[in-house]
């Protein structure tokens, strides 16, 4: 491939990363394509198989080594499973006594709820997720 096609491929992949929600996958493939293009622009012209091998090696190595650091630096590192639900608002489906078990809706899905509050929760009431334990949300009413 000519050098300009690697640069174009890199630009397309970086542009796609900016538009799509790929969670920092395409940026490393785009950067690898740019590096291969710059190597060729610098006067080194390896055969096609070596260009593709360099592209693949740079892509995978940077993805494995740099992606976790980038995600951590930008605050996208996931914590323990379910911690992203803590603080969300749940809509209670049916009456639940204090300490009782029931069902509720969060983000379009039905969840098992455990009423961690001192008072009952009523159908249609909104409550807050305090803890996630498997598929059960521990919730507390606003009042």
Q: In a structure prediction context, what are the per-residue pLDDT tens digits for the chain, which is 143 residues long?
A: 899 999 999 999 999 988 887 777 899 999 999 999 999 999 999 999 999 999 999 999 999 998 888 877 877 555 455 557 888 889 999 899 988 999 999 888 899 999 988 888 888 999 998 888 888 889 988 76
pTM (whole model) above 0.85: no
Q: Cβ–Cβ contacts within 10 Å for residue 138, how many?
A: 16
Instruction: Find tokens 């749940």 and name the residue.
Output: 90
Predicted confidence at residue 134, as pLDDT, reads 82
Strand partners, 136: 112, 133
Predicted confidence at residue 101, as pLDDT, reads 92
Predicted confidence at residue 82, as pLDDT, reads 52
What is the β-pairing status of strands 136-141 and 109-115?
parallel
Strand partners, 126: 91
Predicted confidence at residue 143, as pLDDT, reads 60
Strand partners, 101: 114
55 and 5 Cβ atoms separated by less than 8 Å: no
């Amino acid at each position: 491939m000519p050098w300009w096609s690697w640069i174009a491929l890199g630009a397309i992949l970086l542009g796609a990363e900016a538009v799509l929600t790929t969670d920092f996958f395409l940026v490393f493939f785009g950067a690898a394509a740019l590096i291969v293009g710059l190597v060729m622009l610098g006067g080194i012209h390896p055969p096609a198989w070596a260009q593709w091998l360099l592209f693949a090696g740079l892509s995978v190595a940077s993805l494995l080594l740099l992606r976790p650091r980038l995600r951590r630096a930008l605050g996208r590192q996931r914590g323990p499973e379910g911690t992203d639900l803590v603080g969300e608002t749940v809509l209670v489906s049916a009456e639940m006594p204090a300490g009782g078990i029931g069902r509720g809706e969060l983000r379009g899905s039905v969840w098992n709820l455990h009423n961690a509050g001192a008072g009952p929760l009523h159908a249609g009431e909104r409550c807050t997720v305090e803890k996630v334990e498997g598929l059960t949300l521990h919730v507390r009413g606003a009042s």
